[in-house]
Structure 1
Amino acid sequence: MPEIHEVATLTSKGQITLPKPIRQALGVDAGSKVAFDLRGGEVVVTRADAEHEDPAIGAFLSLLESDIRAGRHVASLPDELAQAMLANAGRAVNLDEEIAGDVAI
């Protein structure tokens, strides 16, 4: 996942609005659930996955993430495979849609 630094303001009710680049990177929108984990003085925000997540897709994404973090070359997925994965995740995405904001890779 790209490194993004954003600042949000805490309201008097203890609420924040996730900045748009963070929502886009996590793939969440209105009604989505996010998880907060406190790790060594830092709060890590992640998308709360559905209860019935496909373990094969999760394992594949973990493998892909480790390759990216290790700096290994990762080729583009065929469009058909990407669309099938997104369909299984229950999310409709237009792969030709422009990404709003800056993205660091």
Structure 2
Amino acid sequence: MECAMTASLEVESTLTDRYQTTVPETVRRALKLSKRDKIHYTIRPGGEVVLSRVEAAEEEDPVLGQFLGFLARDIASHPERLQAVDANFVQRIQSLVGGVEVDLDTALPADDE
């Protein structure tokens, strides 16, 4: 019977005066963390703390939710501001973006985040 041995890697970081720290690069890579990702902490009875990446549900987008809430409130408060979209305007938009392909699943380059 073969026994698989798992290697562990230890890293450390320092707390600032405000109790903040930078997650070391090796931990970020291991958890596949990106900017603005959430981290879950599990505190075990012996004092050991386990970090894991929080998987965000696709429907949870706080910025989009706030924007849609703003639009709903604005429409309710000022329905007179609503305007029909003119067919010429639609044609103009299509002429500007026609043939442009966008892959919404492709990650942005680091400079664009």
- In the superposition, the TM-score normalised over structure 2's length comes to 0.42
- Look at both structures and tell me which one has the larger radius of gyration over its CA atoms: 2
RCO comparison, higher one (Cα < 8 Å, 6+): 1
